Amino acid sequence: MMIKSPIIHHESHITSHISPFLIQLVYPLTTKLIFPFFFKEITIIGKENVPKNGGLIIAPTHRSRWDALIVPYATGKLVSGRNPHFMVSANEMKGIQGWFIRSLGGFPVNTDKPGLDSLRHSFDLLCQEEMVVIFPEGNIFRTDEVQLLKRGVAKIALEVEITNPEVEVKILPVSIKYSQPIPSRGCSVTVTLGECLKVREYQGKSTRENSLILTADLTKSLQKIHEN
């Protein structure tokens, strides 16, 4: 008997919209004013690893609230020609930062106990061959080591692959390293984009086993680019 997935069979009440008008304002404001004012240098390595089409989960390390602005700069319109949507901690979507995140397609998630609405919306976006940013560590950590990853990224990716194999969903590991544990004005940041994991290669076992293997491989990929 096939077990119905709660993700697939749950109707999401969360939506995310990327306004072309706002994007045209936000990108120049961020790249030409905010970033130069705050950061001494931003280095991006591996831009060629960002797919320009197909469903893509961008899986970055999480070290600062700045990550929500750094990720689209390193992987979005200027690099891939696409604008990513975001699964972002509800706690981080406040004030001016929250305004920027929402303008870039952010939608809230409870990182301690992700609701089905957030998971379903991510599933729907990937089935539409969009880019979705999910921080697999969950919360912000001020360490140099990759933390224990949550299995949500792998579970959503595998659900898409099972139900919509033509999407050929991929996972892009991303390392974000700041020159200071808590970024302050004048610090530098290095973003390293690793090689994509192809979700279609994680088949043949149970969904749980596949998700464990995929999560382990994502951990190794992040460790390779972040801890060296």
Check which CATH number belongs to the domain holding 176 and give it.
Answer: 3.40.1130.10
- The answer to whether 83 touches 111, Cβ cutoff 8 Å, is no
Helix (H) or strand (E) holding 60: strand 56-60
> pTM to 2 decimals?
0.88
Q: Give the 3-state secondary structure percentages of the chain, helix then strand then coil, rounded to 5.
A: 45, 20, 40
Task: Report how far Cα 191 is from the mean position of its chain's Cα atoms.
Answer: 13
- Tell me the pLDDT tens digit for each residue of 66-77: 998 899 999 998
pLDDT of res. 5: 66
Asked, for residue 107, whether it belongs to a domain, the answer is yes
Handedness of CA 165, 211, 218, 70 (dihedral sign): positive
pLDDT digits (tens, 9 = 90+) for 58-99: 999 999 989 988 999 999 988 999 999 988 777 766 777 777
For residue 144, give the 3-state DSSP assignment.
coil
Into how many domains does the chain fold?
1
CA atoms within 13 A on the CB side of 172: 28
**Dihedral sign from CA coordinates of 200, 129, 193, 79:** positive
**Contact of 137 with 152, CB cutoff 8 Å:** no
Q: Does a structural domain hold residue 200? A: yes
The answer as to whether 11 is a domain residue is no
Per-residue pLDDT tens over the stretch 101-129: 777 788 777 666 666 677 888 898 999 99
Q: What is the residue range of 68's domain?
A: 20-226
Q: Does the residue 7 lie in any domain?
A: no
> Could you tell me the two tokens for 66?
């700045």
* Token output for 102: 């929402």
Determine, yes or no, domain membership for 9.
Answer: no
Return all residues near 50 (Cβ < 8 A) that are at least 6 apart: 56, 75, 79, 80, 172, 193
Cα torsion angle, 214, 122, 12, 98, sign: positive
Is residue 88 one of the residues assigned to a domain?
A: yes
